[in-house]
Structure 1
Amino acid sequence: MDLFATALPPCRLGKVVKSNSHCDYVVQVDDAQDVCSPPTPEDCGFGQFVSFDNDSRHWAVGLVYNSQLFNPLFFNSGPRLSSEPDPLFTPDLVQETRTLLGVVLVGTLEGEGNQRYGKHGIPRVVVPANTPVYCLSPEQVHSFHCNQDGQTQFSYYSHLLRSGGMFAAQLAQQVLAELVDSGLFTGADQKALMVLGKELSWKNTLGAIR
């Protein structure tokens, strides 16, 4: 796919397992039993830009806004073994602890090849279950923050503050800070991101005082 026309193969995080709303999806992170090279904890970090893509199409761009550890054994109140099970006698025993990511959709990537640009907002289509989810490369993050005319945009800002969960303000502030530090933007675009970040930081500080 053109979306991943970069020097390195895309880092797959996992797959869609459910949704909480039209723009709020749950992604199950791949582990060593799913793939040979599972993602690292840094790949699944708070504020990571991700892309929902399968063999047929690109579905959406999202941001990791939350994470959960799911352990079915926590709810098991039955008798327990006195020691760890022996793999020799329990070959089918599988570790069921999984990492789940909350991802808010913030738009899509449009265009082809080097002409990619971002369309910000809530995607119209529903992302199917089991759709693979990948980390966006720095080049793709830059493309997503440019409109069709090549101008910098951050139009999902208000949507992120409404739909980014209980850490929405911190998420938006971190995204802005990382965009400023990334070196992807220069001149007036860089200054605009810095001003927006300082304004949000001031609002967060003032809200905490109140």
Structure 2
Amino acid sequence: MRLGKVVRSNSHCDYVVQVDDALEVRNPPSPEDYGFGSFVKLESNQRHWAVGLVYNSQILNPMFPNAGPRLSSQPDPYFSPDLQNEVRTLLSVILIGALDEERSCGWQGIPRVVVPVNTPVFRMSQEEILRFHLNPQGQTQFSYYGLLLSSGGNFANHLVYQVLNDIIPMFSDPAQRRALQILSKELAWKITVGAIRR
């Protein structure tokens, strides 16, 4: 499912995606489609650019700071401006790697290439997410853990915890699941202790 398009970047691996609305597409995505921790892929018809994670969102409403004159509530038959809804939803996406289509696996880390403006962004399927977490030998990989902690913003710990809980049920190998569960429990403890210290 298409979510929107790249509109700018904050750094080499931190991109801003504008979500499609009803004025742009017939069936815009629902809020559940681009929730916190959602896996997305940035790709066009020409090439696959990167895999990313939604780690933050903003609602942009240009009318909010407007303290100017307002139209009366009574309709005027001679003056009816055609106002457009300019409220936008922006997603902060951290790039964490790419899909290797030839070997049906994922490459994890900071992508070397710069993703162009207007590149379409899609929500990834469960099968694509699972493939991204397998190395060429078919073993589980989660090597973007440190990247999320350092670049995931204020919600970095919660983001990693959310991702772990989403991907653990996808793996059938008990050893792979156990390793990720241990990491998840350690992170849950870290989040809890951090909240107590505040």
> What TM-score range do you get, normalising by the shorter chain?
over 0.9
Match of 1:174 in 2: 162
5 Å-filtered alignment, 1:13-92, equals 13-83=3-73, 89-91=80-82
Match of 2:93 in 1: 103
Match of 1:155 in 2: 143
Deviation at 1:74, TM superposition (A): 1.0
Deviations 1:113-140 (A, max 9, x none): xx42111110000000000000000000
Counterpart AA for 1:78: G
Deviations 1:162-186 (A, max 9, x none): 1001000000001101112x33443
% same residue? 60
Distance in 1, matches of 2:121 and 2:171, equals: 23
SS of residue paired to 2:64: helix
Counterpart AA for 1:208: A
Runs ≥4 residues deviating over 6 A:
84-88
Unaligned residue ranges in structure 1 (runs of 5+): 1-10
Deviation at 1:208, TM superposition (A): 2.2
Contact kept? 2:4, 2:19, Cα under 8 Å: yes
Q: How many residues align?
A: 196
Distance in 2, matches of 1:159 and 1:101, equals: 18
- TM-score, reference length from structure 2: 0.94
Distance in 1, matches of 2:74 and 2:43, equals: 39
Counterpart AA for 1:168: A
The answer to whether 1:186 aligns with 2:177 is no
5 Å-filtered alignment, 1:120-139, equals 120-139=108-127
From the superposition, tell whether residues 74 and 157 of structure 1 become closer, same or farther in structure 2 (CA, over 3 Å).
same
Unaligned residue ranges in structure 2 (runs of 5+): none
From the superposition, tell whether residues 85 and 175 of structure 1 become closer, same or farther in structure 2 (CA, over 3 Å).
farther
Contact kept? 2:145, 2:160, Cα under 8 Å: yes
Distance in 1, matches of 2:44 and 2:185, equals: 38
Deviation at 1:90, TM superposition (A): 2.6
